[in-house]
Amino acid sequence: MINPVLVEVTRGGLVESRHRGAVAIIDADGAVVQSIGDIERPVFPRSAIKALQALPLVESGAADKFSLSDREIALACSSHAAEPGHIATVNSMLAKIGLDYSALECGCHRPTNEKASLAIAEQRQSPLASHNNCSGKHAGFLCLACYMGVDHAGYIRRDHAVQREVHGALEAMTGAAHGEDICGTDGCSIPTYAVPLKSMALGFAKFATGIGLEPVRAKASKRIFKACVENPWYVAGTDRAGTRIMEAGKGRVLVKTGAEGVYCAAIPELGLGVAIKCDDGTTRAAETIVATVIANLLPKSDAEGEAIRAIGHQTLKNRNNINVGEVRATNNLC
Which distant-in-sequence residues (6+ apart) come within 8 Å of 104 by Cβ? 94, 129, 130, 132, 135, 138, 139, 142
> Judged by CB under 8 A, which stretch of 90-98, 168-176, 185-193, 304-312 contacts a copy of itself?
185-193
Among 38, 59, 165, 279, binds a copy of itself (CB under 8 A): 279
| Of the residues 150, 183, 218, 307, which one makes contact with a copy of itself according to CB under 8 A | 183
Angle at Cα 281 formed by Cα 280 and Cα 282, nearest 5°? 100
Binding mask 303-322 for a copy of itself (x = CB under 8 A): ---------------xxxxx
Closest approach of a copy of itself to the CB of residue 94, in Å: 18
CA dihedral 324, 286, 81, 138 (to 10 degrees): -170
Contact call for residue 154 and a copy of itself (CB under 8 A): no
Query: Rounded to the nearest whole angstrom, what is the least distance from the CB of residue 114 to a copy of itself in the complex?
Result: 8
Question: 68 in helix, strand or coil?
Answer: coil
Distances in Å between the alpha carbon of 120 and those of 104, 116, 135, 136?
A: 19, 6, 17, 19
Q: Should residue 130 be labelled a site residue for a copy of itself when binding is judged by CB under 8 A? A: no
**Closer of 187 and 210 to a copy of itself (Cβ):** 187
Cβ-proximal residues to 194 (8 Å cutoff; 6+ apart), any chain: 42, 43, 44, 182, 184
Distance CA 89, CA 148 (A): 22
Among residues 45 and 273, whose Cβ is nearest to a copy of itself? 45
- Under rule CB under 8 A, residue 177 binds a copy of itself: no
Q: Which residues in 249-268 contact a copy of itself (CB under 8 A)?
A: 260-261
Q: Please name the amino acid found at residue 121.
A: A
Dihedral (Cα; 259, 158, 218, 222), 10-degree rounding: -40
Closest-CA residue to 135 (of 157, 96, 112, 106)? 106
Q: What is the DSSP letter of 176?
A: -
- Mask for 55-94, x = binds a copy of itself (CB under 8 A): ----------------------------------------
The answer to the question of residue 332 lying near a copy of itself (CB under 8 A) is no
**Count of residues of this chain found to bind a copy of itself when the rule CB under 8 A is applied:** 51
67-75, 78-86, 108-116, 237-245 -> range binding a copy of itself (CB under 8 A): 108-116
Binding of a copy of itself by 158 (CB under 8 A): no
Residue 22 is a binding residue for a copy of itself (CB under 8 A) = no
Smallest separation, CB 204 to a copy of itself (Å):
20
Calpha distance 173→331 (Å, rounded) = 32
What three-state secondary structure class fits 263? strand
Pick the binder of a copy of itself from 202, 325, 329, 330 (CB under 8 A). Answer: 325
Q: Is the dihedral of CA 95, 99, 101, 107 positive or negative?
A: negative
Assess 164 for contact with a copy of itself (CB under 8 A): no
Q: Which amino acid is at 225?
A: F
Would you count residue 224 as binding a copy of itself (CB under 8 A)?
no
User: Which residues are at the interface with a copy of itself (CB under 8 A)?
Assistant: 2, 9, 11-14, 16-20, 42-44, 105-110, 114, 118, 121-122, 124, 132, 181-189, 192, 194, 260-261, 279-282, 285, 318-322, 324-325
